Structure 1
Amino acid sequence: MPEEKKSVLEGFKAFLMRGNVIDLAVAVVIGAAFTAVVNSLVKGVINPIVGAFGTKDLDRYRSCLKGPCETNAAGDVVRGIPILWGSVLSAVLTFLITAAVVYFLMVLPMSRYLAHKAAKERREEEAHAEVEATEIELLREIRDALVAQRNDAVELVAKRNGAGETPRVSESERR
């Protein structure tokens, strides 16, 4: 039984030490820090710009669905059904800013890097294919020269022996 627990613990350790898990943990930490930056950007820059046209806080933008909305001194709705479209707008802006930054700072450079790497690999493969084609052509020439040399040797032996007809190596025998 202790042997089984040891193997489970070793398996768990191997799982944790795999590159994917560590990369994912780093991405979560960076994502959390990045979210804080984007939220402060929306609250510190975007909200005041929108506030120039109305309320400084997007969360205060709302519409009343049923009847006039009444709030108490604390800002809680006492009567009516409020639609808080300002908080939705704030969340959408936060999402768009986050998506734009991730795309332009991470996705676009990585896709360009991968495209450059793929093009380089294609060029290397084409060069390798050219070298292989040259080698194959050279091997064919060597084969043909050896076959011609063999045929010449067979003819020479046949002439010395006085035979009239000399055996030739056919195309199928060459291959």
Structure 2
Amino acid sequence: MFKGFKEFLLRGNVIDLAVAVVIGAAFNTVVQKVVDTLINPIIGMFFKADSLDGAMIVGLPGGGEIAFGALIGAIINFAIVAAVVYFVFVMPMNRLRKPTAEEPGVPTEQELLTEIRDLLQAQATTTKQ
């Protein structure tokens, strides 16, 4: 039982996932600081609020309130995280995975089948002559 658990923990995917969670948590702190120190002061100039959480609050007749600023803040936070993940991680990895023009790529199944067909046709032509 423990042997299987040990193998599970030592798989590459589990380690990669653990690293991703730790990096993600640290990255979230950086994004939160960008929002707190850069975006919130700009929003404060326009909406006379300390942060997006306190901006654009609409009171409801029953006593509740809708905080549109908090929603916009969450969307901005998500957009920053998504942009950084895409441009820092996804794009470079996609470039590393693509074979360059100088390197011959692995032929596709259709290319292999075409090559086999041409070889068979060439054999058939030479045996008929």
Q: Normalising by structure 1, what TM-score?
A: 0.57
The alignment status of 1:10 with 2:6, answered yes or no, reads no
Q: CA deviation at 1:90?
A: 1.0
Give the corresponding residue for 1:82. 65
- RMSD between superposed Cα atoms in Å: 2.8
Give unpaired runs (5+ residues) of structure 1: 1-7, 68-79, 145-170
Separation in structure 1 between the aligned mates of residue 33 and residue 82 of structure 2, nearest angstrom: 16
Change (3 A) 1:119 1:52: farther
In terms of Rg, which structure is larger? 1
Task: Name stretches of at least 5 consecutive residues in structure 2 with no aligned partner.
Answer: none
TM-superposed deviation, 1:120 = 3.1
Q: Tell me by how many angstroms 1:119 deviates.
A: 7.9
**AA aligned opposite 1:65:** L
1:49-64 mapped onto 2 (5 Å cutoff): 49-54=42-47, 55-61=49-55, 62-64=57-59
Which residue pairs with 2:19 in the alignment?
Answer: 26
Aligned length: 114
Q: 1:117 to 1:20 in 2, by over 3 A?
A: farther
2:38 matched residue in structure 1: 45
Q: Secondary structure at the match of 2:78?
A: helix
Normalising to structure 2: TM-score of the pair? 0.76
Decide whether aligned partners of structure 1 residues 15 and 118 sit closer, same or farther in structure 2, where only a CA change above 3 A counts.
farther
Identical pairs, percent: 46
Structure 1 residues 13 and 119: CA distance shift in structure 2, 3 A: farther
